[in-house]
Structure 1
Amino acid sequence: MSGTGGFEAYDDQDGPDDHGTGPESAKGPGDTGSTGRPGHDEGGGGTSGGKGGDGTNGPGDPGDPVGPPRIPLPRASVEDTGRPLPALDEPAPPAVPVLEHRVLKSLLGAWALAACSAEETAAVEDHLGECGSCADEALRLRGAVGLLQRPESLDLDPGLRTRVLDGCLDRRPPRIPIPVWAMPYDAETARLDALLQDFGDSEWHAPVRLRWFDADEPTSRRTTVAGVIAHLMSVDGLVALALGLDDPLGEARADEPTPSGRTEAYWRGSHFPPTRSVRTPWREQSHDLVRTVSFTGGTAGKLEVAYGDFALPLHDAMLDRAFECWVHAEDIAEAVDYPYDPPSPRHLNRMIDLAARMLPAVLAQRRQKGLTSPAHGRHLVSAGGPGRTLRLEIEGLGGGEWLIPLDSPAAVGSAEHEVAHVALDGVEFCQLAAGHVSPAEAAAGQVGDREAIRDVLYAAASMSRL
């Protein structure tokens, strides 16, 4: 009974054979009962264990080699049947509407701004292949759209470093602070070094055109990115010498200690053109300059730095070096087609102030050479008195107003003796002082004595040098 009961429980659970075709398939040989259970007839003639009346295993028994398997076979794939595969439902292409020429022409502006629907875009682009006038107009509009989108710089905001440092210094003042007049140099050398850090060999040897004004005529000199860094390091060496630091030229010093002479001497005494190896000594020198003036507590600001034919106090020389570092960083960025922003407004204001303070002395030198209009003696008074004055108004970044005495460096600018007024953008004025903009194109607004205005603009351009 136990064997029969076990088989019946198994059979009741699984039911008929998975491959059966009806009740008959569940009957064993010799089974005459109607229960459909193998080896179990109504008279109890079947033996226990599920055997048939003849003593053999019933069909469907796992031990039966002839009966169908209890585990179903895998289903046949449709690829194996030879039947055709079902067709895929492909989306129909968008219908191209038929529009009149005037409608298509009115859609060109929206098409250039990518504001058309898919159907309108398809209609316009089909039309552009057939209509030459609309194709030209579409090309012009696409170019205009490109100008509307200002290219985004991957560089950080140039004022971000200053703001972060100010926030840190407010919380914890430095033990050895950097003098205020050295901060622009520290910031501009750091920005230029950040621009250089990912340059490969091709960028270091990219051609750069250095531009300046000489004898009121634009001139230029071609070098490479590495050559520009070598030039900056050579001229920074003048400040290093004033502070008692090592001269980067070593024994290859120029006979005349001018910026151009030192640069030519360095180029002759080193690899020409210089290679990327110049970056490390330039950056180390800039760190040494900032560190040294910081350790002096700012008292070294009145030391003189000789430029050959003129000299500047150290605090002005550091501003001059910051200005040139920014100008040549823009030259480098232009050579490698990379955007570069102006200095922070307060640093730019200091650079503009230096140029404005230098203008009276430059005007006097140009007057001695006969390059400016003669001084008007009736406007001159004793040393330190007022004289003819030009009002220099700087707009935008680093803006402000400066009264420039025209007749003598010892004179004092006075609004009562103002004979001319010039308005310039801050960055444009710096480009003029760097020799990158001609005096004829620099002034945004001019009022008053035309000769005085011309003298000041050309004097600003003449401050540029290699």
Structure 2
Amino acid sequence: MSEVRSEPYDARAGEAGETGEGGGAGGAGEAGEAGEAAERGHPGNGAGGPDGPLVLEHRVLKSLLGAWALAACSPAEAEAVEEHLGGCGPCADEALRLREAVGLLQRPESLDLDPGLRTRVLESCLERRPPRIPVPEWAAAYDAETARLDALLQDFGDAEWHAPVRLRWYEADEASTRRTTVAGVIAHLLTVDGLVAVALGLEDPLGDVRAERPTPAARTEAYWRAAHFPPTRSVRAPWREQSHHLVRTASFTGGAGRMTVSYGDFELPLHDAMLDRAFECWVHAEDIAEAVDYPYDPPSGRHLHGMVDLAARMLPVVLEARRRSGLASPVERRLVAAGEPGRSLRLEIEGSGGGEWLIPLDSPAAKGSVEHEVAHVALDGAEFCRLAAGHVPPQEAAVGQEGDREAIRDVLLAAASLSRM
């Protein structure tokens, strides 16, 4: 919000008085005396009667120009000054100069909302009156990230909505891209969030549109085709409405039990699916912000930690799938039994959302073990998430690496393979 500030009346009136004839201080003093006389209705000082206009001498009116420029005159004085300006060219020029100077004194401030304003307002409100149906912790990151993205989109014009965006991900260990627009990215989020909507019993945003497969990529392509690609800014309203419905419905599910969300090729528990959607919302918000040359911060530390944790928990399963496909190194010895300690990589996340995770390397059912640690990787929290989003090449991701180079390579490539369109 912008805030208009002005200097105190006395300081500005003194400066205005310096432009008066015969010394500014005397002019300002006479103006004050004239004003007081006018309030008393004393005709000897040039004041009109109680119902008539205020009549002041030229030198008094000139001394009031500074106060008039600051809108600090009384209504009667302002009326007298403005009537005088209509017939006095030098005073009109001086008044214009002073008004422009006042405009320079009022420092413009950004109209962009503080990203933390929404959180502070909500916290303040909740301290006074807790909600009847609070947003569960596992849906809070999605609620926050969709609100941040919606705030970014709020003032976009047609040029921004049609700005080109390049979606990036890794497929078969190769960087892949897909060109779209800002509106196309929101359509992508709408259709993939729709997988959670369907699981919760809400309306599918695809409607009657048929996708070749129930995967995020296939659903997005189907929506784009039906929208006569590229979509327009009109996609914002259904995306925003759906995100509100998802948060509200999730709040009524309680613990969500064993509810799962199908992504076509795999499933996620509802808790993790909501976190996954928060993660993708942030990643694509960064894509949009980059396209329109606007700064965009990572999620809060608490929410970023949850996103890192989700990716770390998925890595053992992804490693196993890549090993079966010949994309990861084979296990050098027999598989470790479920729950037993095995070879592990210590993933250290630094900065906001930081922590440590022990990633079992030989079996997704094995237990990460400090005693069996063979490698260590250190990354920044936001950078690790960008790696998992396919926005950072695996070979350039890790700040610190120690130990088994093959295990480190396998884990970094597995993290990149978590990405998708």
Normalization by structure 2: what TM-score?
0.72
The answer as to whether partners of 1:306 and 1:312 remain within 8 angstroms in 2 is: yes
What's the counterpart of residue 53 of structure 2?
none
- Of 255, 277, 280, 1:299 maps to 255
What's the counterpart of residue 336 of structure 1?
292
What's the counterpart of residue 362 of structure 1?
318
The answer to whether residue 367 in structure 2 is matched with residue 408 in structure 1 is no
**Distance of 2:401 and 2:147 partners within structure 1:** 37
What's the counterpart of residue 91 of structure 1?
none
- Of 200, 206, 216, 1:259 maps to 216
- Of 394, 404, 413, 1:458 maps to 413
Q: 1:160 to 1:421 in 2, by over 3 A?
A: farther
User: What is the Cα deviation at residue 234 of structure 1?
Assistant: 0.5
Matches within 5 A, 1:170-319: 170-296=127-253, 298-300=254-256, 302-319=258-275
The answer as to whether partners of 2:344 and 2:361 remain within 8 angstroms in 1 is: yes
**Distance of 2:174 and 2:230 partners within structure 1:** 27
The answer as to whether partners of 2:347 and 2:378 remain within 8 angstroms in 1 is: yes
What's the counterpart of residue 336 of structure 2?
381
**Distance of 2:170 and 2:140 partners within structure 1:** 28
What's the counterpart of residue 351 of structure 1?
307
Structural RMSD (CA): 1.5
What's the counterpart of residue 439 of structure 1?
394
Q: Which moved more, 1:152-161 or 1:262-271?
A: 152-161
The answer as to whether partners of 1:158 and 1:344 remain within 8 angstroms in 2 is: no
User: What is the Cα deviation at residue 389 of structure 1?
Assistant: 0.3
* More contact order relative to length (CA 8 Å, sep ≥ 6): 2
The answer as to whether partners of 1:211 and 1:435 remain within 8 angstroms in 2 is: yes
**Distance of 1:376 and 1:302 partners within structure 2:** 36
Larger Rg belongs to:
1
User: What is the Cα deviation at residue 300 of structure 1?
Assistant: 1.9
- Specify every segment of 5 or more residues in structure 2 that has no aligned partner in the other structure, as ranges: 1-108
What's the counterpart of residue 94 of structure 1?
none
User: What is the Cα deviation at residue 158 of structure 1?
Assistant: 4.1
Question: How many residue pairs are counted as aligned between the two chains?
Answer: 313
User: What is the Cα deviation at residue 376 of structure 1?
Assistant: 2.9
Letter in 2 for 1:452: A
The answer as to whether partners of 2:336 and 2:362 remain within 8 angstroms in 1 is: no
The answer as to whether partners of 1:395 and 1:423 remain within 8 angstroms in 2 is: yes
The answer as to whether partners of 2:183 and 2:232 remain within 8 angstroms in 1 is: yes
Letter in 2 for 1:332: I
Q: Give per-residue Cα distances to partners, 1:169-214, cap 9 Å, x unaligned.
A: 2332111101100000000000000000100001000000000001
Q: Give per-residue Cα distances to partners, 1:54-103, cap 9 Å, x unaligned.
A: xxxxxxxxxxxxxxxxxxxxxxxxxxxxxxxxxxxxxxxxxxxxxxxxxx
Partner-residue secondary structure (3-state), 2:169: strand
Letter in 1 for 2:208: E
Q: Give per-residue Cα distances to partners, 1:233-269, cap 9 Å, x unaligned.
A: 0000100110111000011131310000000000011
Q: 1:321 to 1:287 in 2, by over 3 A?
A: same
Q: 1:457 to 1:239 in 2, by over 3 A?
A: same
Q: Give per-residue Cα distances to partners, 1:379-427, cap 9 Å, x unaligned.
A: x432111111000000011000000001111011010100000000001
The answer as to whether partners of 1:434 and 1:461 remain within 8 angstroms in 2 is: yes
Q: 1:422 to 1:288 in 2, by over 3 A?
A: same
Letter in 2 for 1:313: P
User: What is the Cα deviation at residue 159 of structure 1?
Assistant: 4.4
User: What is the Cα deviation at residue 302 of structure 1?
Assistant: 3.0
The answer to whether residue 384 in structure 2 is matched with residue 429 in structure 1 is yes
